[in-house]
Structure 1
Amino acid sequence: MPVSEQALAERALSDQALADRTRAGATPPADPAREGWAVVPDCGFVDLVGPIYLRASDGAYAFAAEGKHRNLIGVVQGGMLMTFADRALGVTAMAAADGANCVTIEMQMHFIGAGRIGDWIVARPQVTQRTGSLVFMRAELTAGDRLVGTATGVWKILRRRPVA
């Protein structure tokens, strides 16, 4: 007898100990703004899966893993982690390109540990190299002291077009 998506998600969620959500630094701050986090405005796709936060003091990005981010086994969907990494690295690449638009031309994600519903997942993007037309990036994604994944990629710097 096939098991429904709902049953799989409920089973996975019930299998997670509540203590997993209270690891130091792994849960969302009660007041993100008080800890220096600001919502990154977005009116496109990322708005559907966000909010995503930025802490300007160190350039870190974060999101609170919610039920809408759950996959069939009850942990954060890998596609959400990739979307989050792409946004954090992409915005950082644009800053490294002096505000020019950048597009992802290659990104690789390594899933190392599961992101759990209730986690505060943080990415710390780093520019590893910038050329005249490319920005090379990397980041670690963590939930508290637990490594969830790593991302590396290359962003193309687009030429600014004159305003007509």
Structure 2
Amino acid sequence: MERYDDPRPEFLYEEHPDHPGWMRWGFKDPTRYNAFLGEMMVRAEDNPDSRPRAFVRMTPERQHSNLADRMHGGALLGFIDVALFAAARSFGLIGAGTAVTLDLNTHFIGGGRIGEAVEAQVELLRETGRLLFLRGLVVQGSDTVAEFSGTIRKPGR
């Protein structure tokens, strides 16, 4: 399979200056949806004895909250969707741009607290010529917030 080293110029994928071992991830254009989620970081786990895994973080703020002062389900779904792409990029399986989500299944398990980092732990289940099958958990500290699975269609050539 083709591997990607550099994202398109409109994407940010660079070493995070304040978090060694983590990469910054997102659009450079602050008017795109991803900017609503705030700063995102991604780190791939390199373990040849297991499936590829990546960790994607964001810190929910007031604009991500519901009336119970927990992370709004829509913001959580948005984070999970973007985390699939950040993980796939960190695995070197996609560049940036025209890949799309084909499906995303999510079970909400707990409420995400505002002001504390949430982390999507994303695992690659399988890669085919055009598809990536992924699954994972969203955690906040020792609490599980959600579990998910999704399929990404890789960009056409």
Question: Is this a same-fold pair by TM over 0.5?
Answer: yes
**Deviations along 1:94-136, whole A, 9 cap, x unmatched?**
5453537421010011100110112210011111011111110
Indicate yes or no: 2:26 matched with 1:41: yes
Distance 1:158 1:39, change over 3 A: closer
Gaps of 5+ in 2: 1-15, 47-53
Q: 1:50 to 1:132 in 2, by over 3 A?
A: same
What is the aligned-residue identity percentage?
A: 32
Superposed, 1:146-161 pairs within 5 Å as 146-160=143-157
Range 84-93 or range 37-46, more displaced: 37-46
Structure with the largest fraction of strand = 2
What is the match of residue 103 of structure 2?
106
When Rg is computed on C-alpha atoms for both structures, the one with the higher figure is 1
CA distance in 2, matches of 1:55, 1:102: 20
Q: CA deviation at 1:93?
A: 2.9
Aligned residue number for residue 112 of structure 2: 115
Please, what TM-score do these two structures have when normalized by structure 1? 0.70
Please, what is the CA RMSD of the aligned residues? 2.3
1:133 and 2:130 matched: yes
In 2, distance between residues paired with 1:33 and 1:57? 19
1:93 corresponds to which residue? Answer: 88
Cα–Cα, structure 1 residues 32 and 78, in superposed 2: closer, same or farther, change >3 Å? farther
CA-CA distance at 1:73 after TM superposition: 1.7
Question: Is the counterpart of residue 63 in structure 1 residue 58 in structure 2?
Answer: yes
> For 1:31-74, what per-residue CA distance to the aligned partner results, in whole angstroms no more than 9, with x for missing partners?
98245444323122111221112235563110112111111221
What amino acid maps onto 2:78 in structure 1?
T
Provide the rounded CA distance (Å) in 1 between the counterparts of 2:106 and 2:60.
18
TM-score (norm 2): 0.73
Looking at structure 2, the residues matched to 159 and 89 of structure 1 have their Cα atoms a distance apart, in angstroms, of: 18
Q: Secondary structure of the equivalent of 2:58?
A: strand
Q: Please name the residue that 1:54 is paired with.
A: 42
